[in-house]
Amino acid sequence: MLGLGTIRRVTRELRTDIAAAHERDPAARGVSSTEILFAWPGVQAVLAHRVAHALHDLSVPVAPRAIAYVSRMVTGIEIHPAANIGDGLFIDHGMGVVIGETADVGDNVTFYQGVTLGGTGFATGKRHPTVGDNVTVGSGAKLLGPIEVGHGAKVGANSVVITDVPPNSTVVGNPGHVVRVDGKRPEGPDADWIHLPDPVADAIRELSGRINDLEGRVAALNGEEPPAQVRRLRPVRGRNPAGG
């Protein structure tokens, strides 16, 4: 059954999870650890999972799934007892987060509400994502299948990712496109989803420029006035919601 070593490990992981909430949630600044434990559903869900996972590893019947079921009802977050969760996972808000049975989550990872680490078929074995350390996954993003998300990657809100993500890169769109953010490593849990690159808009801008060029050449050959310019798409510029 549960030994002192297991209890010490769960206690250490709980301290790390509460510290992650203090560090990454602006609403937790100045809030006591006790209040976070009792009022932050993401912290509660991860704590419940750590207990359920420890019981699952000991092959205790019924209890791990019962704990996961009650945790889902209370917090709105579903984590399978067999999923491997690293230290310092922070789930912000959390409602609708689903982490599947064979998922592996590294250290210091941040999930926002509605994130899914799901499977893509009915096969047994490894069928859920592996998420590296220091990864940030935006609201509503879906990571599907036995893919790997590298260290320091960012997944934009509502992206659907079905292929591997290289370290220190950013994925946006459906299906997810791997991009970079101003040539910089997107390390850390900042939440600036407004200024992410848009590969679809970039492609449309490139096509509209080529169409303008071709129409101008045709008009010159026919001795006609050049056509009106296609209005170019401009990237969204706004305040950084992360406060930057």
Domain boundaries, the chain: 4-179, 198-244
Give CA–CA dist 187/153, Å, rounded.
7
Tell me the average pLDDT across 163-178.
89
Give CA–CA dist 43/86, Å, rounded.
13
Could you tell me the pLDDT band of residue 181, with boundaries at 50, 70 and 90?
low
How does pLDDT run across 72-107, given as a tens digit for each residue?
999 999 999 999 999 999 999 889 999 999 999 999
Give CA–CA dist 181/133, Å, rounded.
19
Residue 20 has what pLDDT? 94
Tell me the average pLDDT across 132-155.
95
Tell me the average pLDDT across 148-152.
94
To the question of pTM greater than 0.75 for the whole model, the response is yes
Match domain 4-179 to its CATH number in 3.30.230.10, 3.20.20.10, 2.60.40.1190, 2.160.10.10. Answer: 2.160.10.10
Tell me the average pLDDT across 37-62.
94
Give CA–CA dist 134/31, Å, rounded.
24
Could you tell me the pLDDT band of residue 244, with boundaries at 50, 70 and 90?
very low
Give CA–CA dist 110/149, Å, rounded.
13
How does pLDDT run across 216-226, given as a tens digit for each residue?
888 888 888 77
Higher pLDDT, 149 or 191: 149
Residue 238 has what pLDDT? 53
- For 177, half-sphere exposure in the C-beta direction (CA atoms, 13 angstrom radius) is 13
The residue with tokens 């859920």 is 128
